[in-house]
Copies of this chain bind each other. A is one copy, B any other.
Amino acid sequence: MTETVPTLLVVSAHAGDFVWRAGGAIAAATMRGERAVVVCLSYGERGESASQWLQGKPLAEIKAIRRQEAEAAATALGAEVEFLDLGDYPLLETPEAVEKLVGVFRRVQPTVVLTHPLADPYNGDHPAAARMALQARILAQAIGVAVDGRFPTTDEIIGAPPVFFFEPHQPEQSDFKPNVLLDVTTAFPLKQKAMECLPAQKHMWEYYTQLAIRRGVQVKRNAGPNLGLPVDTRGEAYMRYYPQVTDVLE
């Protein structure tokens, strides 16, 4: 078996989601020399581009703007990004979309998967993205499942990479109970740079910086003894979907 390069795959409903919610995890991975690939299922062109619609911009231009922003943010994080352009509001869960994602999983061969949590009463696209990501991850494991009529080789089927849900906007309302607190202190400057690639949502820069501080406080509270974490620890919260497999309890 050839050696696996650790690879993070982030399935994001809209163009901006991965920056706010998982930018720290992505930057931390690329700073460790790992690969990170972001798949934006849509550009968030209808549901998350209100200011541009109010300026009267046409759909194609809005999509182009969102795409450029996302590309810039991904670059800032050291990540690759691709766009499936499936449409948003609503992002429809279809067999065809899932099949495309199966193709992505097989091409990228992720060792870790990040996506939205399964509940979000404020935005139906997020759970739809999560359901498709989870289904594609399973189908991509099966040698009998073809994509575009082509069956996979044994090298192309994937294993069972762990899945982490990133934090939704209103966590308690979305049944988001974090079971992993990620220390992103070192990676946070890159996340900040990535956030600044999204100028239309400038008010979010401070909001997500404060969230990182808040989660950082929880990182320190939940850390074991003698870790000596710095005062300005920054955190991101995640929810592991499958049991952790390990040979050390810690």
Contact = CB atoms under 8 A, between A and B. Distances in A.
Interface stretch (A67-75, A77-85, A191-199, A206-214): A206-214
B123 A138 contact: yes
Given A122-B138, A178-B243, A225 B111 contact: yes
Interface size class of A (residues with CB under 8 A): 35 or more
Contacts of A53: 143-144, 151
State how many copies of this chain the complex holds: 6
Nearest to A125: B138
Given A179-B179, A242-B121, A224 B142 contact: no
A30 interface: no
11 contacts: A54-B143, A89-B138, A90-B95, A111-B250, A169-B221, A179-B179, A180-B246, A210-B213, A218-B243, A222-B242, A222-B243
Given A25-B249, A90-B135, A160-B225, 11 more contacts: A1-B228, A46-B145, A47-B142, A59-B144, A112-B249, A121-B242, A158-B225, A173-B242, A178-B243, A180-B244, A218-B243
